[in-house]
Amino acid sequence: MGNLKIIVFPMLVLAMAMAMAISVLPYPWAVAVSEDTLFINYHIHVVNDLPLFHSPPDVPQFYLHCKSGDRDIGDKAMLKGEDYSWDTKVNLFRTTLFFCNARWINYKWIRFDAFKASRDEKRCGEYHNSCMWSVRSNGIYFSNNNATWTNEYPW
Ligand SMILES: *[C@@H]1O[C@H](CO)[C@@H](O)[C@H](O)[C@H]1NC(C)=O
């Protein structure tokens, strides 16, 4: 009897350890798969497609300033056709957010989110990992293919 206990107990411990290993093992795999997009370098473009408001045309009529919690892309007075762009990766917690303040001359400032991981990680992965914004007279349009555009932030 004494000998049997000595054998059964280590076997039980071993069985429990194996059960725990099986329940834990698939976890790192799942994490590795969902982390793939963390390596993607996203390109964000904001293009001034506003019509000219005043002459002369070489005077900037659109002001843009984009930043995240820890990165400032800078203030820019933009000429017609200019592209304000930067790159970013998605952080481990997928909370990456770049917002912009924009003002067309004589109009009020508006704020829009130029890159928000929860919204854009997938849709901006469709075309060269790019999020494209076109600033127009009735709002700020988004495209994830550089062909079809939707007005996501009307002025
Ligand atoms: C989008 O298309 C325009 C016009 O053809 C081109 O100049 C621009 O480089 C394209 N942008 C991207 C991000 O491919």
Quick: pLDDT tens for 120-149: 999 999 999 999 999 998 999 999 999 999
Give the mean pLDDT of the chain. 84
Please tell me which residue, 8 or 32, carries the higher pLDDT value: 8
* CA gap 106, 61 in Å, rounded: 9
State which amino acid sits at residue 35. E
pLDDT band of residue 38 (cuts 50, 70, 90) is confident
Q: Sketch the domain layout of the chain as residue ranges.
A: 2-34, 39-154
- How far, CA to CA in Å, does 127 sit from each of 28, 97, 108? 29, 20, 32
| 8 Å CB contact between 76 and 101 | no
- Choosing among 1.10.1330, 2.60.40, 1.10.260, 3.40.1350, the CATH entry for 39-154 is 2.60.40
Nearest Cα residue to atom 14 of ligand 1? 146
- How far, CA to CA in Å, does 96 sit from each of 32, 103, 134, 137? 19, 23, 21, 28
Over residues 66-86, the pLDDT tens digits come to 999 999 999 999 998 999 999
Q: If you average pLDDT over residues 43-61, what whole number do you get?
A: 82
What is the CA(120)–ligand 1 centre distance, in A? 19
* CA gap 131, 145 in Å, rounded: 8
Phi-psi region at 20: left, alpha or beta (left = phi > 0; alpha = psi -120 to 50): alpha
Testing ligand 1's pocket by substitution, the residue of 45, 128, 146 carrying the most ligand atoms inside 8 A of its CB is 146
State the DSSP H helix or E strand holding residue 10, giving kind and residue range, or none if neither. helix 2-24
Q: Which tokens hold the place of 37?
A: 């997009």
